[in-house]
């Protein structure tokens, strides 16, 4: 047996797994029960030294190719699951050959589409899910990746300050190019439309889909959302002689969508100045980086944006006018005086509901609505207590890992600055 692991993974933690058994025969005491989507391969989840891994059994060449593909996509700042290793040349104790095994790190607090739809978490879920998938597909295409199997089943979703963030899970059929042609993008869109319609019809047949949702309309909608976003990122504009200010406006719009312009081409012709933007995903998430540098919190991009807004509000209200206090000091006080007190109030039995950053975001939203109704600011303590008793207590658990909720909750805060 040959094991190949990323440098950030400790192979010793995984040596104890029963690699000489087919995944279907792994003992239940080594497995973790998680919601998962449909897969053409056998997939199992295991917990090793506090970390949960997804293990997929597939042919050797396919496993090695997907491992390399996921690693390369991660380098290109595309949201994908983290490939941790691949195990080759597996055999049973009596010498029978087994398929290879791809090891990825489980994406905490993520859910497959079937779990989201079957639990009917909220009325606007479909729209948020389609926006997330459209943006993921655009990001992949800008990175030169032709997915060739875009589907809801091959995607995981995490909450991101009220929206959803989509992550690619399955890359075994994909191809990387310097740049995709219009034909390659159109093929991906056609595959996505067919797959999504089929997946939703399957849910409908099982009685898991809201009657108001039309699978065919949803499949067409994902194409429409993709094309709108792609056009916003790549379209050419004609500017008049006094309209150069529109370049700054366009750059701001791209930034709000989570993208950046790596090159701007301006060509003069009789009709005016033609401006074309070469766009890419903003490197590593600007707001994520800033929040982590200030607080040590690792969260999604929209969550980071929301928490930074609250931090800025805290700075404006807590620091006396004219007093110069560095940003790091303010962030430390915000963390200990605002963020942590909210999280610490969450009872242990409710800590599997949502990840901490999403809870904090929802408390801020709850505070705003309560304050508007009361006609004055009710404060974070009252908002947190009300949120826990009237909202969080009735939310379905979104913590994907079964086990001790308090341990998993604490895990999400690791890496914070002291």
The Cα 191–Cα 152 span in angstroms is: 11
Whole-model pTM: value is: 0.71
Cβ within 8 Å of residue 68, ≥6 positions away: none
* b/e map 314-335, b = 16+ CB within 10 Å: bbeeeeeeeeeeeeeebbebbb
Alpha carbon dihedral 380, 382, 386, 387, in 10-degree steps, equals 10
Q: Please report which confidence band the pLDDT of residue 192 belongs to, taking 50, 70 and 90 as the band edges.
A: very high
Q: How far is CA 313 from CA 129, 296, 375, 395, in A?
A: 30, 19, 19, 28
The two tokens of residue 311 are: 């931090």
Give pLDDT, residue 418: 37
Count of beta carbons in the 10 Å neighbourhood of residue 375? 7
Is the torsion defined by CA of 46, 49, 52, 57 positive or negative? negative
Of residues 244 and 371, more confidence is placed in: 371
pLDDT of 401 over the 50 cut: no
- Per-residue pLDDT of 196-210, as tens digits, reads 999 999 988 988 888
Identify the structural domains of the chain with CATH numbers, from first to last: 2-105 (3.30.200), 113-233 (1.10.510.10), 235-281 (no CATH), 288-411 (no CATH)
Cβ(287)–Cβ(305) below 8 Å: yes
Give pLDDT, residue 382: 94
| Side-chain half-sphere CA neighbours of 123 within 13 A | 0
pLDDT of 121 over the 80 cut: no
3-state secondary structure (DSSP) of residue 88: strand
Give pLDDT, residue 119: 56
Backbone angle region of 77, left / alpha / beta, with phi > 0 → left and psi within -120 to 50 → alpha: left
Give pLDDT, residue 141: 94
Top-confidence range, 22-36, 154-168, 174-188, 266-280: 174-188
The Cα 387–Cα 371 span in angstroms is: 13
Beta-strand relationship, 272-281 and 175-176: unpaired
pLDDT of 225 over the 60 cut: yes
Closest Cα to residue 174, out of 195, 150, 142? 150
3-state secondary structure (DSSP) of residue 71: helix
Percentage of the chain exceeding pLDDT 90: 43
The Cα 11–Cα 3 span in angstroms is: 8
Q: How far is CA 337 from CA 211, 307, 343, 412, in A?
A: 46, 14, 11, 19
Give pLDDT, residue 274: 67
pLDDT of 164 over the 60 cut: yes
The two tokens of residue 225 are: 């959302």
Of residues 117 and 198, more confidence is placed in: 198
**Mean of pLDDT values over 50-72:** 93
- Mean pLDDT score of the chain: 83
Q: Please report which confidence band the pLDDT of residue 82 belongs to, taking 50, 70 and 90 as the band edges.
A: very high
Q: Please report which confidence band the pLDDT of residue 322 belongs to, taking 50, 70 and 90 as the band edges.
A: low
Backbone angle region of 50, left / alpha / beta, with phi > 0 → left and psi within -120 to 50 → alpha: left
Give pLDDT, residue 18: 93
Tell me which residue has tokens 């104890």: 16
Residue 263 bridge partners (DSSP): 278
The Cα 362–Cα 350 span in angstroms is: 14
Cβ within 8 Å of residue 415, ≥6 positions away: 296, 298
Q: Please report which confidence band the pLDDT of residue 14 belongs to, taking 50, 70 and 90 as the band edges.
A: confident
The Cα 111–Cα 35 span in angstroms is: 7
Give pLDDT, residue 301: 82
Residue 183 bridge partners (DSSP): none
The Cα 152–Cα 134 span in angstroms is: 11
Give pLDDT, residue 188: 96
pLDDT of 145 over the 80 cut: yes
The Cα 222–Cα 303 span in angstroms is: 24
Q: Please report which confidence band the pLDDT of residue 287 belongs to, taking 50, 70 and 90 as the band edges.
A: confident
3-state secondary structure (DSSP) of residue 4: strand
Cβ within 8 Å of residue 341, ≥6 positions away: 380, 381, 384
């Amino acid at each position: 047996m040959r094991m190949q692991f990323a440098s950030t993974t400790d192979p010793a933690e995984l040596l104890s797994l029963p690699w000489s058994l087919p995944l279907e025969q792994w003992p239940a005491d080594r497995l973790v029960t998680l919601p998962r989507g449909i897969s053409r391969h056998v997939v199992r989840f295991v917990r090793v030294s506090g970390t949960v891994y997804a293990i997929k059994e597939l042919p050797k060449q396919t496993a090695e190719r997907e491992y390399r593909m996921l690693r390369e996509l991660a380098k290109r700042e595309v949201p994908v699951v983290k490939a941790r290793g691949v195990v080759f040349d597996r055999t049973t104790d009596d010498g029978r050959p087994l398929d290879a095994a791809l090891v990825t790190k489980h994406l905490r607090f993520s859910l497959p589409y079937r779990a989201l739809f079957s639990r009917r978490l909220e009325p606007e879920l479909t729209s948020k899910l389609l926006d997330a998938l459209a943006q993921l597909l655009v990001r992949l295409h800008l990175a030169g990746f032709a997915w060739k199997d875009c589907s809801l089943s091959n995607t995981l979703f995490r909450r991101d300050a009220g929206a959803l963030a989509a992550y690619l899970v399955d890359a075994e059929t994909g191809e990387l190019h310097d740049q995709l042609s219009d034909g390659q993008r159109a093929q991906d869109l056609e595959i996505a439309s067919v797959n999504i319609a089929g997946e939703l019809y399957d849910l409908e047949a099982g009685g898991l889909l809201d009657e108001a949702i039309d699978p065919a309309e949803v499949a067409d909608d994902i194409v429409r959302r993709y094309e709108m976003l792609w056009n916003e990122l790549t379209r050419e504009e004609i500017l008049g002689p006094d309209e150069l200010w529109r370049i700054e406006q366009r750059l701001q719009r791209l930034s709000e969508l989570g993208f950046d312009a790596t090159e701007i081409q301006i060509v003069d012709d009789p009709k005016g100045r033609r401006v074309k933007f070469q766009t890419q995903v903003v490197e590593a998430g600007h707001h994520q980086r800033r929040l982590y540098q200030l607080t040590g919190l690792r969260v999604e991009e929209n969550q980071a944006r929301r928490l930074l807004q609250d931090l800025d509000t805290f700075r404006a209200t807590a620091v006396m006018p004219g007093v110069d206090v560095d940003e790091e000091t303010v962030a430390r006080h915000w963390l200990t005086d605002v963020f942590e007190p909210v999280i610490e109030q969450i009872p242990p039995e409710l800590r599997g509901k949502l990840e901490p950053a999403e809870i904090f975001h929802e408390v801020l939203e709850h505070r705003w609505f309560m304050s508007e109704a009361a006609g004055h600011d009710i404060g974070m303590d009252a908002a947190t207590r009300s949120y826990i008793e009237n909202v969080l207590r009735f939310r379905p658990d979104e913590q994907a890992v079964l086990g001790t909720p308090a341990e998993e909750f604490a895990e999400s805060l690791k890496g914070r600055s002291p």
